[in-house]
Structure 1
């Protein structure tokens, strides 16, 4: 049975003073519940926001509004730049240096932080390649928090690069790459940042560096490595919400027959890349996930949750589409339970040979 409670310890350090917060967060069984965000980076930023502005976030709609505020995004950046002292499937300890008037000297906190001194010296390098053209307009810091909150662990260096600025990591001694989703299309090469991205991915593929492609990342990996991505002309609009998939995949300790995933996409992989195998199919999309010895492509979003999906549609200018998408999301959230913990474990096992 899946452990649905994750113990998150948040330590906010201000000089020799600490604010110490530790509680059980209901991260994974999200039955449209606004109390806690399933991503602990967002929960940490929310706590900082509440403390800094003496406010309380009481419902989901209020929280979505907070996500759009520049003040929240600045706090989220602080959390991203914080340090993960410990990270396991059951516990995460985050240390943040932040100036607050409140605080106290603690005997507990130094004891928790003492484990930091015992960390191994050798650190592995990973890269998060962000492929969103609207990054600066809408998603600044949010994409880092969504992904690093899942993948970043102790003794790892995660470097963040913006493909829209032609930023890419040195492939030497790089252990793995995550390619994000995007509002752009994988098969439209007219945008000037696409060709450098394709060249980078092909070179990483030649070196057989582990790569995980999410949505657009899944499509661009297929499209540039012998497969093909296309627009879903056979559906009336983007496919959104939480979707249940029949799966025969092995999720270790998690026994899952119908895997629940979060999706938002209008394009799909028509043909798989060379030397890959099909992992998952959906009613509207046969090539929903694929795998090879060093590639993992996922059409769905392992970093998403109900709050984030609603956030994406909250300020749509097209009121009819907004109403359609929000209705479909709300309806889908009522069915089943959240399986992100099992999905994260599967990805981490692939990316880091755990």
Structure 2
């Protein structure tokens, strides 16, 4: 039986990007189609107030990236935090990427704030600090496409650090067998990263923009991270 994944979409793409890329929910569906564990997906845009029905059951809930600040007080963010806390307390598995990574860290007692390092853009590499059994395929280190100006500056007390770099010390973490989060974007492709860099060029400045664009031809392991996520979710089924 396929895994059932609820994707909580926490952004609406800029108008210039919607026709080609649709939304982060579709990007994740396309990403997960490349890994070997079968899954089916239901996408709900929580910015627009859409949530799964009360009687729906899922093997995991995935919180996407967003332009919003995870520490913001927007009503939709407050509602999402309440929903995720209820899911966590019910024992459900939770996945987070970028905004989702930061929001879940906050929710579970960590700290997220504007990074003094500035914007992270383009492609970035991390050292893997732990390599649990579900982290298959096994990698020596991890490279992902990124786009963020906020970071998790303190992990939840019961979290395990999985990946780190000098620029982003808390790049991936897990909480027991229930929560798995990544700062980088496994669902991004280089063309999308270039598109958002181009849209933000004047804001980012030439130095950051050029640095981001120069690394987009590097290989990145988004597909491997997707498989890690599915194995993280599926391992209880195999037990």
Residues 253, 157 of structure 1: CA spacing in aligned structure 2 closer, same or farther, 3 A cutoff?
Answer: closer
TM-score for the superposition, normalised by structure 1: 0.58
Q: 1:344 aligns with which of 226, 230, 233?
A: 226
- Corresponding position of 2:125: 244
- Gaps of at least 5 residues in structure 1 are 1-121
- Corresponding position of 2:67: 183
Q: Does 1:129 align with 2:13?
A: no
* Helix, strand or coil at the partner of 1:333: coil
What is the rounded CA distance, in whole Å, between the counterparts of 1:171 and 1:282 in structure 2?
41
Q: 2:94 aligns with which of 204, 208, 211?
A: 211
- Contact conserved, 1:310 with 1:326, CA < 8 A, in 2? no
The aligned runs of 1:74-93 (5 Å cut-off) are none
What is the rounded CA distance, in whole Å, between the counterparts of 2:204 and 2:97 in structure 1?
24
Task: Give the C-alpha shift of residue 135 in structure 1.
Answer: 3.5
Larger Rg: 1 or 2? 1
Q: 2:198 aligns with which of 311, 314, 317?
A: 314
What is the rounded CA distance, in whole Å, between the counterparts of 2:45 and 2:174 in structure 1?
25
Task: Give the C-alpha shift of residue 243 in structure 1.
Answer: 1.2
The CA RMSD measured in Å over matched residues stands at 2.4
Q: Which has the higher contact order (CA 8 A, sep 6+)?
A: 2
The aligned runs of 1:160-239 (5 Å cut-off) are 160-169=43-52, 170=54, 172-189=56-73, 191-232=74-115, 234-235=116-117, 237-239=118-120
Q: Deviations over 1:236-261 (max 9, x none)?
A: x311111122224434344x323212
* Helix, strand or coil at the partner of 2:169: strand
Task: Give the C-alpha shift of residue 175 in structure 1.
Answer: 0.9
